[in-house]
Amino acid sequence: MNIDASVEIILQKPLEGKQLTLTEIETLLSIRDTHLLERLFWTAREIREQYFRNKVFLYGFVYFSTYCRNNCSFCFYRCSNPESVRYRKSDEEIIELSSSLQDSGVHVIDLTMGEDPIIHNGGRYRRLIDIVQMVNDNVDIPIMLSPGAIPHNIFNKLREAGADWFACYQETHNRNLFKRLRPNQDYDFRLSQKMWAMESGLLAEEGIMVGVGECLHDRARSIELMKNLQVDQIRAMSFVPQNNTPMAHDTPSLFIDELVTLAVMRLVHPDKLIPASLDIEGINGLSSRLNAGANVVTSIIPPQQGLAGVAQHELDIDDGSRSVEQIENNLDDLGFSIAPLSDYVSLIQGWKDVKGNGATL
């Protein structure tokens, strides 16, 4: 059988509600021929349409502390980079930023920080729990928390304070590569974050970086492992080299590698949330990611507030191109519309009800 015919057979399976094998996932990840890429992206869109019609969700991003005790090789905010912008937002600023994002129409506030020693050292996480409580008291939309890796006993407290989601990306599920990317961090402790979050009744997001030295088989294994993990949001983001880091001169992979990964994620996780992050190519990268099957726009950042992105710490922020207003125009042109908040709330409530308090691996 020629390659076109065998790819068509694989693409038919998710359309019929069937699961893909690891080998099939890897075959799809290897597609680079223009015609087959079109078929892959079309199938991903078709499947997204079945579950979400043309509706997308928007996540506001509040990077409230850029201090970090870790030294991840890929990250601009690693502790040994003296050039990184460091700030900590005050309570008033966090409330103001979260409220203005809510008013602008996002569905979720993603509260993100480096592993700020002030919060992480000592192990009690009182300040983090207080921040969640404070934001929950002041906004009426769901809250995601991306604080790095934290102890098991803190998850319940975060849920009680009002968190809905916990995001913590493994970056890779290849243990040797993990060691190089996140030196002196424990692979199992980081992987457990997602399970501990779900055990406590939180929803969890898992993610990988594309172009950090992984092979197609690694990507395929990650996509499959995320299925077994039963997380509700999954992401792939292209690695963007950062000045003054050990990986500053690594050759990043082409964006097509991320787009293919997103499309295959959609085929394996048909009903899940898959972000198109503005943090990689800014607003110009939105259409290709939606075209590949993503259904959430993340890293929406209010302009002129001294807030940073992660992979692109300045791109498109201060001219307002990462604002809801700008995104809404783009979505209109692309034939998408912003889902009502009530749709989002009932979607995640349904997931929480199904999971109960006992999601396990």
Q: Name the segment binding ligand SAM (CB under 6 A); options: 44-52, 98-106, 108-116, 316-324.
A: 108-116
Binding of residue 112 to ligand MD0 (CB under 6 A): yes
**Cα(291)–Cα(41) distance, integer angstroms:** 7
Minimal distance, residue 171 CB to ligand SF4, in Å: 8
Q: Name the segment binding ligand SAM (CB under 6 A); options: 7-15, 132-140, 218-226, 239-247.
A: 239-247
Binding of residue 146 to ligand MD0 (CB under 6 A): yes
**Which listed residue (102, 242, 261, 298) binds ligand SAM by CB under 6 A?**
242
SS3 258: helix
Binding of residue 167 to ligand MD0 (CB under 6 A): yes
Binding of residue 74 to ligand SAM (CB under 6 A): yes
Q: Name the segment binding ligand SF4 (CB under 6 A); options: 57-65, 73-81, 133-141, 336-344.
A: 73-81
Binding of residue 58 to ligand MD0 (CB under 6 A): no
**Which listed residue (66, 102, 233, 298) binds ligand MD0 by CB under 6 A?**
298
Minimal distance, residue 120 CB to ligand SF4, in Å: 10
Q: Name the segment binding ligand MD0 (CB under 6 A); options: 16-24, 124-132, 256-264, 274-282.
A: 274-282
**Phi, psi of 267, deg, nearest 5:** -70, -35
Cβ-closest position to ligand SAM: 311
CB atoms within 10 A of CB 143: 21
CB atoms within 10 A of CB 18: 10
Helix runs in the chain, H state only: 3-15, 22-29, 34-52, 91-104, 117-120, 126-138, 155-161, 175-181, 187-199, 216-229, 255-268, 278-281, 286-291, 324-334, 341-355
DSSP-assigned beta bridge partners for residue 164? none
Minimal distance, residue 62 CB to ligand SAM, in Å: 11
Number of residues binding to ligand MD0, judged by CB under 6 A: 12
Closest to ligand MD0 by CB, 146 vs 326, is 146
Closest to ligand MD0 by CB, 52 vs 74, is 74
Binding of residue 115 to ligand SF4 (CB under 6 A): yes
Closest to ligand MD0 by CB, 25 vs 108, is 108
Please enumerate in sequence order all residues whose Cβ is within 8 A of that of 249, keeping only pairs 6 or more positions apart, or say none. Answer: 241
Q: Name the segment binding ligand SAM (CB under 6 A); options: 10-18, 236-244, 268-276, 287-295.
A: 236-244
DSSP state of 212: S
Contacts from 82-90 at CB under 8 Å and sequence distance 24+? 82/244, 83/243, 83/244, 84/244, 85/308, 85/313, 87/306, 87/308, 88/64, 88/116, 88/118, 89/62, 89/64, 89/65
Whose structure tokens read 């790095």? Answer: 148
Q: What is the DSSP string of 29-88?
A: HT--SHHHHHHHHHHHHHHHHHHHTTEEEEEEEEEEE---S---TT-TT-TT-TTS---B
Minimal distance, residue 325 CB to ligand MD0, in Å: 19
Q: Name the segment binding ligand SF4 (CB under 6 A); options: 43-51, 65-73, 126-134, 318-326.
A: 65-73
Minimal distance, residue 114 CB to ligand SF4, in Å: 4
Binding of residue 166 to ligand SAM (CB under 6 A): no
Closest to ligand SAM by CB, 253 vs 291, is 253
- CA 169 vs. chain centroid, Å, equals 8
Nearest one of 171, 168, 109 to 138, comparing CA atoms: 109
Which residues are at the interface with ligand SF4 (CB under 6 A)?
Answer: 68, 70, 72, 75, 77-78, 114-115, 148
Which residues are at the interface with ligand SAM (CB under 6 A)?
Answer: 74-75, 112, 114-115, 146, 148, 168-169, 171, 207, 209, 237, 239-240, 242, 310-311
